[in-house]
A and B are shown apart, each in its own frame.
Chain A
Amino acid sequence: SQQGEEDPQALSIQEGENATMNCSYKTSINNLQWYRQNSGRGLVHLILIRSNEREKHSGRLRVTLDTSKKSSSLLITASRAADTASYFCATDASGAQKLVFGQGTRLTINP
């Protein structure tokens, strides 16, 4: 069974607006990652946040992690048409050798 659940399942906003998507998970983790998937393509790694970190930034991306609530959020600021994609969170538990992916949020940026 998949550990992560993304919310919302789909999000449509205007170019220039900020997009926020959330991920919840069930068990204790070592790290949480966010990946992007453009239509028909493989996933691309965006950012990793470790369990002892609360917030991390990379360019227009901001990720927060709340281990007490077992949740994370990904904020994309000043969205662009090129940000249209599906976004997945992925977690790895302590000692695990593999990731568990959520079902993804489909983001559409309207020009």
Chain B
Amino acid sequence: NAGVTQTPKFRVLKTGQSMTLLCAQDMNHEYMYWYRQDPGMGLRLIHYSVGEGTTAKGEVPDGYNVSRLKKQNFLLGLESAAPSQTSVYFCASSLFGGQAPTQYFGPGTRLLVL
């Protein structure tokens, strides 16, 4: 049981480049989340999904897009990276949201935008 995995672990981008972060979970969880964490800060929710084929905006969605084509995968895309998107990105999943709100986190992806 790998839990929640994230690919890649670290990436350097130039301003304007695009990339996709992949999150995969093997726990058959319905809900998946993408957060960003900046130094000394808590987590801010970017987008989330309550099931395959659904997505919703979180607190800081601008500049990001997401897709949940398969239940086990949740992709986060940056179409045109900006230095303000330098951060650590965490993916998480939970079984059923409000009824089972405990979230399980991946190890994170460190992104540096130059």
Contact = CB atoms under 8 A, between A and B. Distances in A.
Interface residues of B, number: 27
A44 interface: yes
B97 interface: yes
A33 B102 contact: yes
Contacts of B102: 33, 45, 48
| Central interface residue in B4, B90, B98, by most chain A CB within 10 Å | B98
B98 A30 contact: yes
Nearest to A32: B101
A98 interface: yes
Interface residues of A, number: 27
A110 B99 CA distance: 38
| Central interface residue in B4, B43, B59, B106, by most chain A CB within 10 Å | B43
Interface of B: 4, 31, 33, 35, 40-45, 48, 50, 56, 58-59, 90, 92, 97-98, 101-108
